[in-house]
Structure 1
């Protein structure tokens, strides 16, 4: 490592320490009642700080009635688009012939009844409703009335915009969201079960290793197994490349990536009836309980001074 590299690393360590001491704290902040839009903006959005609001949606019709039995009874023949993987990582790292790929899930259309039966098969492939195209409003319009949107008025007033997407999620404990970040302000509402989040703030970007991977997609084989099919770049017929986090925070390889231990990792469980505000550009890794159901609201981030500051960090880390 050159002297410049050492100086940069020291600077990022100071940034991380100062952030932790001055405003990040040691755990995710929690509220027991909805904030006003002013409080939310001042205390969390303006500081790019996550917060969990406990029990604030317990009276939503969705929280009171949505579960696997409800969907089996009311929508057994409804067609749903399901992400299918052999390892539970839809949009994550997979192996093909000892080569690591960024692998996207195969998408299959099936009835809700068929999907629920797959969730009961503990030895089979992993199935997850996770289509991130505002599938609650587009694919499940009959469910929209079970969400009390007035609860989220504080967020809409703070962001000063409507959500770009409202997404419906349903799966089991084998479905895991690999660590990544999004350019969205995220209001995440667990409806049934719970989600376990690991969060890393943007100031620790330097300690989260990334690599460029050939890109592929899982495809089913006739024998029921799955393999990764490379996605080729039309210009050169070589696999497309995706930049992705190269460490599993559940089993971090600190020998290969020793700086990862310097990252501030926050852990929080979000239960049914809770809302998590996940700020833009925070790394997050998500696990869940069996047959967990959630709804999230994505609001496009503001490309303001925080974003410019983040892009500077990104550039310095990639010299």
Structure 2
């Protein structure tokens, strides 16, 4: 029984148990606190064990990266080494996309063009100096009415699965290969350490990861829209065939197209955006409205994002015009009863829905 029972009511009397669960969780985790230099035991007790995000200060003030990292320095440090850059026409990698107006390759002889795909970015290899030049492309398309396939390419250093150590080894001494208090608290080293460099054109759609995430911002600002695991029901998951952006020269013009994966693969992905969730909340009983917790993480700050929390991420440059640069540390989660409870809530909603199941897609 929560302290807010007068508002939330007894679970036994709730018309929609899923909405009741969401209210209970948001009451317990209504904001993201800022904490300074937590001890390992404090971090484990107050955040990991209680499944609560936090913005952490003082975690990496001693990194040389805090003074050194800008695009010129990074490009010089990497020299002629090639790195992976994700490229899209709209800044959205790993997202649902309507195929209206798009050329789609990879269709079988008897296949119709799907109405929607789960699209992944095109991966290109280039030097970091080439990336910096590409990033300097004007952020506004000269022809604002042009179809997305004809818009300028948006580059984003966002390859995961350990990109910092694999592709940027010359930068490791400027930061770290682990976060000491997190490694001590969790009893393990990170599974992957990733480097992110991008501007306001790139953002990441709602998803969740099975990792405890410590996300350290070195330059710029990252804006996270967070939802706890119980709120996946509002994200409007859609099953769509997987595809990838590819850019080709057509009639002397670089254009993006979509290439379906072969063999064909279907991905369930969230269709909701922060804007659509806020719009829906305005049409919902205020008690049942589900809106994300918005957190700004500035240079020198780290976000602890618990495993399985849904997040949508935006970013912006700093005052000097440098792009957002961050290093994140993925620690494998413990697959304990928290994981089982989240899976149960997901499956229960998919089977039984809530008071208005037609408006809340399952996961």
TM-score for both structures, normalised by structure 2: 0.79
State yes or no: 1:248 paired with 2:247: no
Q: Residue 312 of structure 2 aligns to a residue in which SS?
A: strand
Question: Paired residue for 2:161, among 117, 123, 133?
Answer: 133
Structure 1 residue 41 displacement after superposition: 1.1
Gaps of 5+ in 1: 1-6, 234-238
Structure 1 residue 49 displacement after superposition: 0.6
Structure 1 residue 9 displacement after superposition: 6.6
Corresponding residue for 1:116?
132
- 1:194-233 to 2 correspondence within 5 Å? 194-222=221-249, 223-233=253-263
Corresponding residue for 1:72?
75
Corresponding residue for 2:311?
284
Q: Rate the CA distance shift 1:190–1:60 in 2: closer, same or farther, 3 A.
A: same
Q: Rate the CA distance shift 1:259–1:160 in 2: closer, same or farther, 3 A.
A: farther
Q: Residue 224 of structure 1 aligns to a residue in which SS?
A: strand
Corresponding residue for 1:36?
39
Corresponding residue for 1:10?
16
Gaps of 5+ in 2: 1-12, 102-114, 142-151, 318-322, 352-363
Indicate the larger mover: 10-19 or 164-173.
10-19
How many residue pairs end up in the alignment?
303
Conservation of the 8 A alpha-carbon contact between 1:58 and 1:64 = no
Q: Residue 280 of structure 2 aligns to a residue in which SS?
A: coil
Q: What is the rounded CA distance, in whole Å, between the counterparts of 1:275 and 1:116 in structure 2?
A: 25
TM-score for both structures, normalised by structure 1: 0.89
Q: Rate the CA distance shift 1:142–1:259 in 2: closer, same or farther, 3 A.
A: farther
Structure 1 residue 148 displacement after superposition: 4.1
Q: Rate the CA distance shift 1:227–1:53 in 2: closer, same or farther, 3 A.
A: same
Corresponding residue for 2:172?
144
Q: What is the rounded CA distance, in whole Å, between the counterparts of 1:62 and 1:51 in structure 2?
A: 22
Aligned Cα root-mean-square deviation (Å): 2.1
